[in-house]
Amino acid sequence: MKNRSFIMVLFLVCYSVDAQDIFGKWKTIDDETGEAKSIVNIYKENGKVFGKIVDIVNPERKDAICDKCEGEDKNKPIVGFVLIRNLQRDGRYYEGGTIFDPQKGKQYKCRIGLDADNEDLLQVRGYVAFFYATQYWERIKG
């Protein structure tokens, strides 16, 4: 009976540790201005993690197109644009894929993960060689 109780407690602890994850909607915050820019839905598809812009905060930019994109994304609406692609879990982070900045027209290697002190913040880091920039996105509850 003691072993059964221990296993049940262990299961509950493991479940609660992983209860909050990166999946769901996040408000992107510009690392230079501190202003909210868009809402991104982070989801899993075919075992990899993606992030799609589902809304733009600034009403004047709601119909913006990706004029700096290349290929099939060129001149398509920003809403619906998949900016995070092909991440996979590696410990507490998801990495190995890319993030695209539609305003600058640049793609970066990407790593995302929950903030160690606040699970309602998502640390989003884009890399070029040894240089990186980090943003903290806010979880949208509900």
pTM: 0.83
Q: Quick one: pLDDT band at residue 31, thresholds 50, 70, 90?
A: confident
Q: Which two tokens stand for residue 113?
A: 């993960």
pLDDT at position 2, please? 53
pLDDT above 50: residue 35: yes
pLDDT at position 30, please? 84
Give the tens place of pLDDT for each residue, 100-128: 998 889 999 999 999 999 999 999 999 98
d(CA 71, CA 25): 27
Tell which phi-psi region holds residue 38, choosing left (phi > 0), alpha (psi between -120 and 50) or beta. Answer: beta
Pick the closest to residue 11 from 22, 3, 1, 23 (CA basis).
Answer: 3
Give the tens place of pLDDT for each residue, 42-54: 999 999 999 999 9
d(CA 2, CA 10): 12
pLDDT above 90: residue 12: no
pLDDT at position 5, please? 46
